[in-house]
Chains A and B, each alone.
Chain A
Amino acid sequence: MQDNKGSGMKTDRSRRTFVLLLPFAAIGGMLATVASAAFRFLRPVVSASSEKWVDVAPVAGLSGNKPVARKIVADQVAGWARSLAEHSVYILPGKNNQVLSAVCPHEGCEVSWREDKNVFSCPCHDSDFAADGQRISGPARRGLDPLPSRVANGKLQVRYQSFVNNTQERIARG
C-alpha cells in the first residue's frame, strides 16, 4: 500500500516535470530559431573593394626621382550601396613605378611629400618616411604600403587596397 502510493507520486511528479519542461523547450526553440536567423542577418557584410584595375597615369610621362602624387577613384561596394571613393597615391618613378598608398600605416592620416626634407611626412603624429616609402621615424610601425600595380596599354594601373593600421606586418583588409 505504502509502496504503491510512493511510486504513484513518482510517476505523477516526473510527468509534471516533463510537462513543465515543455514550455521552456518551446520558448527556447522559438528564441533559438529567431536568434540564429538574426545572427546570420546581422553579420557584417564584407565591404569589397572591387577587383578592378584603375588607371593612374600614362607610363610615358613618368620620369625622375621624385614621387608623383595622383588621385585615383576606386569603386567600393558595401551591402546595397556602391560608392566611388577618391584615394591619394604616390608613384615612385625612381623605383620602377611602384605605387604607394598615401595612407599612413599608423592611424590612417594621409602623408604628404615634403620637397624641402625629401621625406613623406604625416601631419597627424609626425611619422616620417623616406622617398622609397621606408619608415624613418615617428610612431608608425612600418613603411608606406605599396599597392598592386601593372602596366597595360602604356598606362600604369593600380588596384586599390587598404591595410590594417598600426601593425608591423602588412595585412590587407577585405
Chain B
Amino acid sequence: MTAAAMDVLLSGQLLFAAAVAGALYALVAIGLNLVYGTMRLLNVAHGDVVMIGAYATYWCFSLLGLSPLLSLVLSAAAAALVGGALYLGLFRRLVAERRTARRLEANSLLLFFGISVIVQNLAAFAFSATPRGYQFLDMVWRIGDVFVTGNRLLALAIALTACIGVWLFLRFHILGLAIKALIQSRDAAAVVGIDTDRVQLTAFGLGFALAAIAGCLISMTEQISPFMGFPFTIAAFVVVILGGLGNLTGGIIAGFILGAIETYGVALTSPSLRSILLYAVFVGILMLRPQGLLGGARLFR
C-alpha cells in the first residue's frame, strides 16, 4: 500500500464518514431488533419505513418549508402510530395464531415481502422513481483536519442521542425492562406477569418510530428513492446478527463495525462495490451463523 493511500485510510475524514454510517445503521437496526426480539417476526419491510420517513421529511421541507428537525418529531410520532395500528390490526393475530400454523414462519416473511413490494411501488407511483434530495445545513465546517457538513454532524448527533435514549429506556424504564425480558424468554415473561400485548405494542411503535427518525436523518445527507429501503433492511440484519438479539450495546458496536467495513471497503476499492460489500457481508454472516439471530440455540431435546 502506498503512503498516500495509508494517509487517506487514517484520515479523520473517513473515520467521520464511517461514524455517520455506523450510527445510522445502529439506529435502523434497533427497530428490527425490538420487533424480531419480542415477536419473532422478521420484518423485511423495515427499510421501507426508513424510506417513508425520508419522503415525509422531504415533502415537509420542500412543500411546507418545515425544518427536518420538526418533521423528525412529527414523522417519528406518525410512524409509531402506524406501527401500533399494524400491530393491533394484523400482527397481534398472526403471533397469536402462530402455534396452530407452524408453516407460517416462512410464510410470514412472504407477507412482509408483499407489504414491502406494495409500499415501494405505491411510493414509486406517487412520488415517481426519480431520486430526490434537498439542501439543509450543507455548510462545511472544519474541525481539526476534518471537513464536515452541518447535516452530517447533526445526523450523527441525533442518531447517537436516539441510540443512547433507547439504551437508557431499556435499562431503566419498566416497559423497557419488560421488552428485554420478553426478548429473553416469551413464556417466562408471561409467567412472571408481564403484559406481553402491551410490550409488543410498545416494541412495534418504538421500532417504527426509530426507523422513521433514521429516514429523516438519511434524507438530510443523501438522495432518496422509493427503492432505497431494502439495503437498509439488509444492513439492519447484519447489525442484529453481529450484535446479538436484544443486545443494544452489541448492536451499536456492530453498527459502527458495518459502517467502517463499508466506508473503508469502498475507500480501498471503488464506490461501485458498495452494494457487493454489503450483500457479501450479509451472505457471509448468515452462512457462518446459520441459526441466524437466535445464536447457538439448536438444541436437541
Our verdict on whether A and B bind, yes or no, reads no
